[in-house]
Structure 1
């Protein structure tokens, strides 16, 4: 069903548009492509927001969300919206994210208050799909927007900063939070990196760091919606809901860098990444 839409969105033939209309049309197509790239995340979070707290048909909410997430992933694989290699990368995001969730709940950063049969170490298994959704978005956006990366840092350096970002999510509970030092390192690494994308029929450019920040912001917005629905809660939200602290925006932006690094190592993606010698 999505094939005609995807064929239209990826059609790069020149369009004859009046100069005054071109920015509006390109912005519209950019928005549509972004929404389409968020297919997994959109369907999953829609299910999260619509799922009654009591669950469905006697199935607890967390368990029903796991079924929904697995069904969406299977559908995207069967319909070839994602390849096996991409699903393997998404699976890695799930494992990495779930491990982080287990640790964070153990140290009291947040909690999953509801009952679920598929909770492991106090964390529902569906939670890893929230991280997998970020990877799915980047993979889909790469194809729909015809992304190309210029002046990407050397892969070993990009991998090192990604690993340190992930490690800091764990170690800052014991030896201090070095988030801003890592952010400064990432700023230096990706300062010259630009992403070339095609909203319609012409290439546009923007700093890759801006893309990381914008993606992190929208994840922060989604996190606010998730906590508002009570799917998980921070300690300061147990009595009454409040906005997730804005510092989480920076944390999500750094996590996007880590996710992007994994995606950039996929074979068909790596061919579109320019690393200067």
Structure 2
């Protein structure tokens, strides 16, 4: 029991270290909500703070230049989604700001980028390997359909549940292997998607509480974000996983897939459920 508890603490510590960017975002949201800053609007200060944090993480070596590329890509993808959703009235950014595009402050893209930052750092810290990762011929169209559905469901039927079913089918055999304290563990990849999506939903509640953005039902007073948003974040996590996995495969820093049967036979003591 003590050994398991120690492993859990180690696991939590490694993931906490991977959350430096998200923690910096929450801290900035809280501070600027409590303490008004001079000269610039709150949204503009947040934008400048997040740029500074991103620069510091690369400068200090916490993030590599290759990881910065994928994080920047995710920033652009997230900002495009934000502009469309605000235009459709899904949520809003009611405060003033100079660094805004189509009613969306530029800092919003960093909140999506922080998800990619977490994935990149966690991948490196706990030595993630994807077991039986499906062919990219299946994953790429699925990820594209997931992203497009965030736009098209406003004009057509919402197929998120069909897409969720396809995710289960495509990733049915896929597992994620990771290392804690020199011991390797594994879990179903679909379960890791659900867990990440759930914790992002918790983070979303914290962010809206500090006024990062505002849903229509939060205009009068803050209220809990609908639990159904977990499915949206779960699907978005799939897209980010694909981007990060592609980066790792191209650069060859981590194997994208391993033979589960062979690994168990050669190293029978390091895999634990």
Q: 1:34 to 1:242 in 2, by over 3 A?
A: same
Counterpart position of 1:195? 176
**Residue in structure 1 matching 2:127, options 146, 155, 158:** 146
Counterparts of 1:73 and 1:191 in 2: how far apart (Å)? 35
Q: Deviations over 1:140-193 (max 9, x none)?
A: 001110111110000121111111000000000000100000010111111111
Tell whether 2:70 aligns with 1:89.
yes
In the alignment, structure 1 segments of 5+ residues that lack a partner are 1-19
Pairing 1:220-259 to 2, within 5 Å after superposition: 220-259=201-240
**In the alignment, is the contact (CA less than 8 A) between 2:33 and 2:211 conserved in 1?**
no
Q: 1:176 to 1:270 in 2, by over 3 A?
A: farther
**In the alignment, is the contact (CA less than 8 A) between 2:29 and 2:211 conserved in 1?**
no
Pairing 1:9-48 to 2, within 5 Å after superposition: 20-48=1-29
Counterparts of 2:112 and 2:149 in 1: how far apart (Å)? 17
Counterpart position of 1:155? 136
**Residue in structure 1 matching 2:86, options 99, 105, 115:** 105
Pairing 1:47-126 to 2, within 5 Å after superposition: 47-52=28-33, 55-126=36-107
Give the structure-2-normalised TM-score: 0.91
- Alignment partner of 1:104: what SS? helix
Superposed displacement of residue 275, structure 1: 7.2
How well do the aligned residues superpose, as a CA RMSD in angstroms? Answer: 1.4
Q: Structure 1 residue runs of 4+, over 2 Å off?
A: 52-55, 267-271
Counterpart position of 2:150? 169
Q: Deviations over 1:22-45 (max 9, x none)?
A: 100000000000100111111122
Give the structure-1-normalised TM-score: 0.90
- Alignment partner of 1:99: what SS? helix
**In the alignment, is the contact (CA less than 8 A) between 1:263 and 1:269 conserved in 2?**
no
Superposed displacement of residue 21, structure 1: 1.4
Tell whether 2:257 aligns with 1:274.
yes
Higher mean displacement: 117-126 or 153-162: 153-162
**Residue in structure 1 matching 2:111, options 121, 125, 130:** 130
In the alignment, structure 2 segments of 5+ residues that lack a partner are 260-273
Q: 1:179 to 1:270 in 2, by over 3 A?
A: farther
**Residue in structure 1 matching 2:187, options 183, 194, 206:** 206
**In the alignment, is the contact (CA less than 8 A) between 1:159 and 1:261 conserved in 2?**
yes
Counterparts of 1:142 and 1:269 in 2: how far apart (Å)? 13
